Every structure is written in structure tokens, then in C-alpha cells.
Structure 1
Amino acid sequence: MAGWFDAATGILIGRTDAPDAPELTQAGAVQRALGDLGLPVLIDFDPGHQPLQIPLVNGALADVEFVDERGRITQHLVP
């Protein structure tokens, strides 16, 4: 509602080892929070605090591909 995702073409949600709540899974919470945006959402992504940490460059543009349960990110540094 604040316009944060107006230019987004997809959303990546990092993986966590936190347990699901009895009444709501983490995937369900993501769907509830972001499902109305009409964007593809990948959950259990590895960019951050859980091993395997995939470094992402802050401010870089990226192409994200996800096909047959396999993904690829190609970052593009912008001068």
C-alpha cells in the first residue's frame, strides 16, 4: 500500500530455520502478506543468515530464473 513493490517484478523471501506456528505456516504467512501483489514469490531463498549464504550486491539489478526446482541469479552492477 505504501508503493514499495510498485516496480517489483518478483519477490525473494529468505530461508529460516524457525518453526511454523500451529495456526499458520511460514509459506501461508508470506501468501497472506504478499499474495495480492500479483507477483511471483520465491520462498526459502538463501541470500542471508542461514547457510548457504549467497551474497547479493546492494543496489545491483538481477535476473532471477527458476525452472524445474532449480534457480539462478545473475547480478548486474550499475555504474
Structure 2
Amino acid sequence: MNKTELIDAMAADAGITKAAAKKSLESFLGNVESTLKGGGKVSLVGFGSWSVSERSARDGRNPQTGETIKIAAKKVVKFKAGTELSDAVN
């Protein structure tokens, strides 16, 4: 499912216009992004939670040449599925 299909499904399920569904989805995504940028965590009970963790710098290897390369430190977004979502998938 892509963003357009999600907007269509949200509009149909909630009985609202596609424009309203798009605004709602963009608002949700924007708020999740800004919370994670600020170092916070977003939790939706039963669905899952998003958090940011630090990945330290490390040495890697170029698979073509075998040469050692430096991989820079960076922040990564993690998602942990909630119990209800995990149960629904299984």
C-alpha cells in the first residue's frame, strides 16, 4: 500500500473526503517526524512505537575491493511493533 492508497482507505473508512484524509495523514507524519527530531518517542498502544537511536562510527569493508572504509556515526529511526499488531499479523 502506498500513500495514495492509504489516503483513499482512510477516507472510505472514516467517511471523510480524500482531502481531509490527506491533511490528517500529513499532520500525523509531520508530528511523528518533529517529535523524533526533538529526541522524543512516539507510542501508539497496541500498534507500536518509534524512537531514535545512535549508531556509532565503525569500520566496514568494500565488498568489491576488500578495502577497509570508515562508516560515519548517525541517528537511525527504530520501530517496534506492539502486541496487537504482532498478533494480527501472525
TM category, shorter: under 0.3
Higher helix share: 2
Higher Cα Rg: structure 1 or 2?
Answer: 2
TM-score (norm 1): 0.24
Q: Structure with the greater relative contact order (CA < 8 A, sep ≥ 6): 1 or 2?
A: 1
TM-score (norm 2): 0.22
